[in-house]
């Protein structure tokens, strides 16, 4: 009923603006008889005559003038709103909201966004750091970035990274007084810096793989953090061993600030994917960002 009323009110406004059923029918691309029937139906529902009709002209009654004063500005605002939405469809603009875990924010999303945004000043990106399995639909995100197995099957998933290799490293000062571990079992005697996942409170597991077999080490240490940069800072300061993505450690290993150990036991996790709802009608802005992320794989 609401849609019918809106359509009929629009017809009423156009008839008044044109002052003629004939011209209004041409503007609306309907027959004159169909338009007359539409206005009669509107008057019957309201219970008041809205138009004075003559053989030469049409003018609003007092009731019609009152209705016109209310409806005409509202319809104009609706039309302007629809025009703005059309601009969004044709011009890349708007805010894109993404949820991703900490590593994905810094090492998957940011390198692309840093290059992407200067070319599109009307596009904004809001990123929330989160380790949980977000329901992006109910939480009103445009997309999320997670490793493949964490993504619901009803989502579209686009690979946006290579596989994630893990590494263990400590500072030269730390190893000056300790033997380097040659197997995960030897981590028992080392100070290990743990990462507590903020969403569910558990420690991030130190897992290793060699010869097709996986090993999970139970590690302890004086320090526990909830962010990867803090773990890295503590490792650089000589407070223990860090277990984190190799991409974060590599520059410091190359500069000699960290020493990698257990490289033959390296664990590799599946790659990251950008995921979004299959029911989502993508805006030009979102489609451009998806393409930029896809091409960095």
Residues 154, 170 within the same domain: no
pLDDT reported for residue 281: 59
User: Where residue 65 sits, what CATH number does that domain have?
Assistant: 1.10.10.10
Query: Does 150 score more than 80 pLDDT?
Result: no
Percent of the chain with pLDDT over 90: 42
Residues 83, 132 within the same domain: no
Query: N- to C-terminal Cα distance for the chain?
Result: 50
Range 159-174 average pLDDT: 94
Query: Does 2 score more than 60 pLDDT?
Result: no
Mean pLDDT taken over the chain: 87
Query: Does 12 score more than 50 pLDDT?
Result: yes
pLDDT reported for residue 279: 59
Q: Which residue has the higher pLDDT, 34 or 295?
A: 34
Residue ending a domain, choose from 90, 123, 147? 90
The residue segments making up the domain with residue 32 are 2-90
Residue ending a domain, choose from 44, 63, 90? 90
The pTM of the full predicted model, rounded to 2 decimals, is 0.64
d(CA 34, CA 83): 27
pLDDT reported for residue 241: 97
Query: Does 185 score more than 70 pLDDT?
Result: yes
Query: Does 271 score more than 60 pLDDT?
Result: yes
């Amino acid at each position: 009923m609401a849609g019918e009323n809106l359509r009929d009110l629009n017809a009423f406004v156009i008839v008044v603006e044109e002052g003629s059923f004939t011209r209004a029918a041409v503007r609306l691309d309907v027959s004159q008889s169909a338009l007359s029937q539409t206005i009669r139906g509107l008057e019957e529902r309201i219970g008041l005559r809205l138009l004075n009709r003559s053989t030469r002209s049409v003018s609003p009654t007092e009731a019609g003038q009152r209705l016109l004063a209310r409806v005409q500005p509202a319809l104009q605002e609706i039309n302007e709103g629809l025009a703005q939405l059309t601009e969004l469809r044709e011009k890349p603009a708007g805010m894109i909201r993404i949820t991703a875990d900490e590593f994905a924010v810094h090492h998957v999303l940011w390198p692309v966004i840093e290059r992407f945004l200067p070319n599109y000043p009307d596009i904004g990106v809001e990123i929330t750091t989160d380790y949980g399995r977000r329901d992006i639909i109910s939480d009103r995100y445009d997309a999320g970035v997670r490793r493949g197995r964490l993504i619901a099957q009803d989502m579209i998933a686009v690979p946006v990274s290579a596989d994630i290799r893990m590494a263990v490293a400590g500072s030269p000062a730390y190893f000056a007084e300790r033997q380097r571990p040659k197997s995960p079992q030897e981590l028992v005697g080392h100070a290990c810096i743990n990462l507590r996942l903020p969403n569910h409170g558990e420690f991030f597991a130190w897992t290793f793989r060699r010869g097709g077999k996986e090993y999970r080490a139970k590690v302890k240490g004086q320090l526990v953090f909830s962010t990867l940069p803090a773990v890295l800072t503590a490792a650089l300061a000589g407070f223990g061993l860090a277990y984190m993505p190799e991409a974060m450690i590599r520059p410091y290993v190359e500069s000699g600030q960290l020493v990698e150990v257990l490289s033959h036991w390296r664990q590799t996790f599946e790659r990251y994917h950008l995921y979004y709802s299959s029911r989502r009608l993508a805006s030009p802005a979102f489609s451009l960002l998806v393409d930029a992320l896809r091409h960095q794989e």
